[in-house]
Amino acid sequence: MLNFYQKRKLRSILNSRITRAVLAVLAGLMLWNAYERYVIADMMSDRRVLIEQEAALLQSQKAELEAQVQYLRDDRGIEAAMRRQFDIALPGEEVVVILEDEDSESEIQPLQAQVESTSWWPW
């Protein structure tokens, strides 16, 4: 067991200004490190939300592409793609081209404004 003088010396060292300053600096460094970790965790959670949204978008695009691939695997889909891309017709089919009239811009005539007479007689 420590004798009285050794305890008093230990208390004086622990209660000194230098020891308190060192402990305060260490506590400040620990607080700063904890704050940095909090900021990084917050940024990572925001990034995670964005990545999950992108993943959901990519999943929907994947589903659309799989539907298109499934459609193009069918004979009807292949025929439709060939007709659309190469302008092909089967034997016996006729192609009908519908032309629209040229844009004939008709002028819109304004309604004739009724002139109000200032006289009190209606004729």
Q: pLDDT tens across 49-84, in order?
A: 999 999 999 999 999 999 999 998 998 888 888 888
For residues 95 and 88, give the distance between their C-alpha atoms in angstroms, rounded to a whole number.
Answer: 9
Q: For 23-32, 47-56, 110-119, which range has the lowest pLDDT when averaged over its residues? A: 110-119
In a domain, 61, yes or no: yes
Query: Which residue type does 7 have?
Result: K
Using DSSP's 3-state secondary structure scheme, residue 82 falls into helix
User: What pLDDT does 94 receive?
Assistant: 76
**pLDDT score for 81:** 86
Mean pLDDT of the chain: 84
Domain count along the chain: 1
Q: Answer yes or no: is 64 within a domain.
A: yes
User: What is the per-residue pLDDT across 26-39, written as a single tens digit (0 to 9) for each?
Assistant: 999 999 999 999 99
Residues of the domain holding 30: 4-86
- Is pTM, for the whole model, over 0.85? no
3-state secondary structure of 15: coil
pLDDT band at 113 (very low <50, low <70, confident <90, very high): low
90 pLDDT exceeds 90? no
pLDDT at 116 over 70: no
Tokens of 106: 């008709």
Q: Is residue 113 part of a domain?
A: no
- Rounded CA separation 78/86 (Å): 12
Q: Give the whole-number percent of the chain exceeding pLDDT 90.
A: 46
